[in-house]
Each structure stands twice: as structure tokens, then as C-alpha cells.
Structure 1
Amino acid sequence: MKIVVLGGTGLTARCAVRDLAESPDVSEVVIAGRNPEKAQKLAEEIKSKKVSIVQFDATKHDTIVKALKGADVAINGVQYYYNINIMKAALEAGTHYLDVGGLFHTALKQMELGDKFEKAGLTAILGIGECPGITNVMARYAVDKLDSVETILIRDSWMDFTEGGPPFVVTWSISTLFDEMTIPAVIYENGQYKEVPPLSGKETMKFPEPFGTQDQYRTIHSEPATFPKSFKDKGIKNVNWKEGGPGFLDIKTLVDAGLASEKPLKINGAEISPRQFFLKLLKEQNMMGWPEDIIPNDWEITRIIAIGKKKGKKTSYMVDSIFRSNKKWKGAAGQVAVGVPASIAAQMLAKGEIETRGAVPPEICIEPEPFFAELVKRDIKIQETIKTNT
């Protein structure tokens, strides 16, 4: 099978590339990137004959189509702003497609392409990283166990024990983080959608060690965009997402300082937005991912709690997924947590193990048990807790 990873040198997509390269069923992995030097460097680090590179530009349709021609599956690891462009290119190339999330509003727009993918006999999986992604499949697993479901809570946290390195490091898209902290969050409450302020609804949640008790906050996310429709037949009324961990509110300080703004500033006759400046600064200061001489040592946990009824009794299913950094790949937990599920889903698609066609979220098209089995093979833990009120 041939799989193309668009944006394959990115912080999280590079872990998808590495997992694919280590998977025996994959015959060809193509790192597609804007910068061929970075792609070549990653390919040389992996040292696999099955890995090749190709240059493409996410803003230019023809270059995307060319990169995808002949591939079984396209993994879109590019910033979510380009999801729809890349989906249209995948349609033209006749390639199955998946991405790692559309941050609610983009995900809904992507679903509008469902009929075209279905007619073409293709599948587009919308959001199959960690969250969205594993969270969706865990929710499907829990909901399938219940006769009815009223509420689904999705939570995420982390801990970092890495020694050395710079005081501030980004291990996934800072633009997405900025969007989560500036765009109103959307929750599904009592059967209705409503917007709430970002970082509102603070709560404290206890996680297993080494995470401990962590504060959680509302942000915009994709799970509330799809769960109400996916689980409508089970009576779903409430869906909300929250996240938080050490250093999370440090990002809010940057937002408050204006660094998330995309409004250009004039400086000495030139114009640049604070966000563009900050992204460039992070790269110059070697803060986009851990420096090469640092081995990350961190953990991440994502959790869903599905509350409903089973045999007439109020029952909750809590499912946790726990990740650790990958020393061999020098990948932080958050990078592994996003890249590996994308690799697994791409391989399932290429093998014909996912038969649903159209543009769909993971909870619609991925069977939980075989997906979990692949996670466990990669030392990613899945833990289930059941509580019943008699």
C-alpha cells in the first residue's frame, strides 16, 4: 500500500510517517512537504527504502493532486485551514482521505462533501488523531455498551518531565492553540448548540498518576460537532469538551498580549501580523518541537465519559487513553498521540477494513476493538471504568 502524508515534516504528521515506515504492510510512504530539504532530512533519519519525498503547496490545487496520484490513502497533516482544499484534491486524485481535525466549524463544512466522496466510492475520515480521533472511537465504544446515552464528556490533560531544553516548547500547532483560546467554544446542552466564552466552565478533574488532579477549560473542538448527529438514536442531549494541564494558561497570556492577532501591524514601513511574527520567532528560537539534543519525557491522557442507561439503571462508561513520549522517534506524547492514530486509520482504509463511504467522523466508520488493538500494540493504554447506580 502507498500512503502520502501531506505536511509530513510537521510536528505531529512526522510521527504518522515514522509509524507507517515501521509497519510491514505499508510498501511506500511519501513525505509531501513545502520544503524538500526538511522532507529529505526526515527521510534520511528514518533510513527506510520505502520512504520517498515530494514537494507540494497546500494553496495550489494541481500540486496537491499530483502528490496524491496513485496513492491508496492521503493523510492530511497540514494546518486545518486547508482541509477542504485538500479534500477536493483527494477527490480528483481518486484517493481515500483523512485528517486530524477541523476545529468544529471546518469539520461541519467538510461533511458537506460527503455525497461527492460517496459517489466516488471514497472515504474521508474527518478528525482521526488523538482528540478528535481516539476520543471519537472511545465514545463509540462506550455508547455501544449503553441502551441510551444522555451525556458525553471529553477531557484531555498532560504532564511533562522532560529535563533541559528551552523554557517554552510547542509540540503541536500553535495556530490551532491560539484558535482554541480565541474562538467561542460550542457545547451541546439540553439538545441545543450554544456558544460559550473560550476557557470558561473551569472544573477540576482527577486523573490517574502521573497526571493527578488538573483544571479543565472549555475550548472549541470537533467532537461536539459530530457526536449529537452520530448518537442521535441513543437520545444524546449533552456533549462538551474541556482540556487543561501544566502550562496551558501560559498560552492565554500570549493571547492576552496580542500575539494571536492576525491583524497586521506596521513596523518601520513593513507590515506583519503578531501571529506571523510569533510563529517565525518560535522557529528561529528552536521552540517548534523539542531540540534534537533533548529526549522528551512526557505523558498525555484523553478521556471520555458516557452517561446513560443500561437495563434501566443509570450507568456511566469512562474510557481513558494514555500516551507516553517516544524516545526512539524523539516525539513528545502529544505528537505521538496525533500521528499514530492517523497511521493506523490509513492502514485500515488501505486494507479495506473501513467500508463506509462518504465524509464521516471516526465514530461512524471505525470499529473500536480492532482500532484499540492496534493502539495497544504501540504501547498506548486503553483503560475502561464502569459505574452503575442501582
Structure 2
Amino acid sequence: MSDTKPPLGTVIIVGGAGAMGRWAVRGIAELGTAKKVLIGDIDVSRAQQLADEVGGPCVPVRLDATDPAALRQAFVECEVVLNTMGPFSKFARPIVEAAIDCGCDYLDIDDDWESTVEAFEFDAQARDKGLRVVKGIGGSPGISNLAAALVARRLDKVTEIFTGWSMRGAVLEDEPAYPSTGGAGAAVEHWLIQISGSIRAYRDGAEKDIEPLTPVELLYPGKGQVRAYTVGHPEAITLPRCFPTVVSSTNLTSGPAWVFDHARRVAADYDAGRVTLAEGAGRLEDMPAPPADAPRTRDRFAQVWAMARGERDGEPLAISVEPASMPPGKMGGGTGAALAVGLELLRQGRITEPGVHAPEGVIDPHDFFSVFLGFVEPAVASVEDLLIIHEGPVG
């Protein structure tokens, strides 16, 4: 996908030295998307280390994401703000608000449905300023949304959408050069939030609060009968905005049943106030050994996937899709590469509509996967080789 547009000027990535941000910085530099990439992080020594590693356009900047004045001071010289700073329930709103105030386009990897809903409050303000805001261009959401949109458009009428991710892929790559700074981390805290209380999904043509970690049995084309569990990610409520015939939309996670049994116990303690968010996240990260009688079954789902059900030529049909390979770096690598691709599509002029959007609202799936495939291992030659698509009966 060649073009003649010049690189963007200055972009800043909030949390750029973190576990997700590092991979986005590497991807942006690899693509040559921007002349200057400011690695904004409270830990400026780690930001400097990353800048030294990646080189090229990278410049470390000390940034306290809890300081609204500091955000605006950093953003005022930038064209685009990228946000990888979680948990998004805490950081998403002030950062997107500061970006819009400073006249910056904005992309993030927000996987929290509540903060995604909140962001749509800024739609009119972003439109008035001609700014493009893309919420959740990571793994799930991000890759999952665009995969879902791709298969949904193969149906004449889509009525159900499932997006999902495997617990097997929801782990961070160990990078010895960037040792853990302690604590469970934002990703685990986010997971606890999204399996606690109630979560938002789409049922009977409307948003509805449902119970998290409820088992769902699916007849999945290409795999047969499989089981996954409800979780609170934003795809479930953003995809129906693009596909108005949808009556049901759900985000799911998969893995061993005993993992989710443990997660339910932790979530119950968090809901009851017996543990703090940090304590609960620590218990989730410190997973107990599987019970002796736990069945030894392999999770059959891919790292990220999507499935749409509906009709084609008057007949019911289900279509599934999943990447044949993913970028190195596990969750961080896939998420960071997707964010880098989103920025590259912005540079190419392929994201044009101002306002606040989920990825499926402003990004063509083929455009996205055409760039994304450059990051995956094993390498593939085309989008058709990258995406495994199966069609089958509706269960």
C-alpha cells in the first residue's frame, strides 16, 4: 500500500515506555509514520532507554498523566496523541479531553466499555474542530472489531456478532531489559474491573447489562462446538452502531474453566469490598495451580477472533475469522502493532471522518490488515493468507 504523503510531524504516546507503549513506539518507527515520536512517561529513564533502543524519531519526555496541565503542555506541539495509559477507567477521559482541547487527533487502545461510552460525549466537540478520535485500536478491541466488520459485510443481513480473545494470548512478553516495576499492572486491574459487577453487551437490539464470566456455547465454523465466557469489552456495544440489524453482540474470553472459577471468586471479593482493586489484581496474577481433576484440554480459540451470524441469499449462515499469525511480543506486540497501524492509516489519509469513533466506524478492514500483516510472524504474503475465514451453519 504505497503512497506519497509525507510523515506526520510530532506525535506523542502517553505511557510510551510501558508494556503496550513500547511495542507501539517500535511499530511507528518501523513504519516511518512520524518525524518525531515523543515517548511520554513518568519514568523518563525508561523512556530514554527505549529511545536509545529504537533510535530514529524517538525523544523521551517526562509526563505525569495525572496532571492535566502537564498533559496540555506536552500536547500543544503535537499533531496526534496516542494513549496506552491504563487503566482506562482512570486515565482515558482526562487524556482524550486534553488532546481535543489542544487540537490533536487521538487514538488509543482503550479496552474499557465505560470509558469508551464516555468518550462519545466528546463527539460534537471533535467534529467542530475537525479532529479524528479513534477509541480502541489495539488487539481486543481493535483487531477484533475490524475482523468482525469484515465477516459481517459478507452477510446480506447480520443479526449476531461475537468477538473474543484467548487468555492464552492475554499475557505480556518478558523483556529483561525492561523489568517489571512491581504490582499486577493496568492490564490485570482492567480485567478485574471487566469481570466484576455487571458488564454491558447488546441484547434484543439494545444495550443491556449482563453478568460477567457467564459460559456461552458456540457452534464455531471451522472448530465445531466451543465454550467461552462473557467479559466487558467495548466491541459488544460499538459494533451495533455500524450494523443496525444486529440484535445481539457479545465479547468473550476463553481458557480453562478452573481459571474462570478462580476469577469469579476474586471478583466476588472485590465486589463485596473485601479486597482492593490492586489486591484483587494481585490475586488474579498469582494464579493457583490447576486442580488435580481439571481436564487437560487445549483452548481451541485463536489469540483474537470474531464471528458473525445472519443471512445470505435468504439462508442462515455463520462466518468466523481469525488471524493465521500475529506479531511477536504476545499481547503487547499485537496491541502495539495495531495502534501503530492505526496511526499509519491516519497519515495515509485513510481515516478522514472527524468525531469520536470505534475502529469499525472509520477504518476499512482490508486497509488495516494490509499494513498489519507486515508485523506478523510467521510472515504472510497477503490479507487472504493472513485471515482464516470459515463459513458454517448457525447453531
Q: TM-score, normalised by structure 1?
A: 0.80
- Match of residue 157 from structure 1: 166
Distance in 2, Cα, partners of 1:26 & 1:242: 35
Q: Are 1:73 and 2:83 counterparts?
A: no
For structure 1, the 5+ residue unaligned runs are 266-272, 286-298
Residue 44 to residue 249, structure 1, CA distance change in 2 (3 Å): farther
Residue 257 to residue 201, structure 1, CA distance change in 2 (3 Å): closer
Map 1:190-269; keep pairs closer than 5 Å: 190-203=204-217, 215-232=227-244, 235-246=245-256, 248-249=259-260, 252=263, 255=266, 258=269, 260=270
Distance in 1, Cα, partners of 2:207 & 2:145: 19
Are 2:221 and 2:319, in contact at CA under 8 Å, matched by a contact in 1?
no
Tell me the CA shift for residue 276 of structure 1. Answer: 3.6
Distance in 1, Cα, partners of 2:205 & 2:271: 34
Residue type at the aligned position of 2:255: G
Write out per-residue CA displacement over residues 130-166 of structure 1, whole angstroms, 9 at most, x where no aligned residue: 1111111112212222221111111221547999x99
Helix, strand or coil at the partner of 1:320: strand
Residue 34 to residue 254, structure 1, CA distance change in 2 (3 Å): farther
Write out per-residue CA displacement over residues 55-86 of structure 1, whole angstroms, 9 at most, x where no aligned residue: 11222112112222232221100111211111
Are 1:187 and 1:195, in contact at CA under 8 Å, matched by a contact in 2?
yes
Are 1:178 and 1:251, in contact at CA under 8 Å, matched by a contact in 2?
no
Map 1:39-58; keep pairs closer than 5 Å: 39-46=47-54, 48-58=55-65
Task: Count the aligned residue pairs.
Answer: 354
Distance in 1, Cα, partners of 2:326 & 2:227: 20
Q: Which moved more, 1:84-93 or 1:248-257?
A: 248-257
Q: Are 1:385 and 2:390 counterparts?
A: yes
Map 1:305-316; keep pairs closer than 5 Å: 305-316=307-318
Over aligned residues, Cα RMSD in angstroms? 3.4
Of all paired residues, the percent bearing the same amino acid is 23
Q: Are 1:143 and 2:152 counterparts?
A: yes
2:336 to 336, 339, 343: 339
Distance in 2, Cα, partners of 1:88 & 1:261: 29
Q: Are 1:127 and 2:136 counterparts?
A: yes
Helix, strand or coil at the partner of 1:369: helix
Distance in 2, Cα, partners of 1:279 & 1:237: 33
Distance in 1, Cα, partners of 2:259 & 2:81: 32
Write out per-residue CA displacement over residues 25-68 of structure 1, whole angstroms, 9 at most, x where no aligned residue: 4322211011112211222232x131111111222112112222
- Match of residue 296 from structure 1: none
Tell me the CA shift for residue 178 of structure 1. Answer: 1.0
Q: Are 1:62 and 2:69 counterparts?
A: yes
Are 2:197 and 2:212, in contact at CA under 8 Å, matched by a contact in 1?
yes
Tell me the CA shift for residue 243 of structure 1. Answer: 0.2
Residue type at the aligned position of 1:12: M
Are 2:302 and 2:322, in contact at CA under 8 Å, matched by a contact in 1?
no
Distance in 1, Cα, partners of 2:253 & 2:46: 32
Residue type at the aligned position of 1:78: M
Write out per-residue CA displacement over residues 275-306 of structure 1, whole angstroms, 9 at most, x where no aligned residue: 345779999x9xxxxxxxxxxxxx95211111
Residue 387 to residue 276, structure 1, CA distance change in 2 (3 Å): closer
Are 1:11 and 1:172, in contact at CA under 8 Å, matched by a contact in 2?
no
Are 1:158 and 1:300, in contact at CA under 8 Å, matched by a contact in 2?
no
Tell me the CA shift for residue 107 of structure 1. Answer: 0.9
Distance in 2, Cα, partners of 1:281 & 1:317: 37
Distance in 1, Cα, partners of 2:262 & 2:281: 13
Q: TM-score, normalised by structure 2?
A: 0.79
Are 1:11 and 1:171, in contact at CA under 8 Å, matched by a contact in 2?
no
Distance in 2, Cα, partners of 1:221 & 1:372: 21
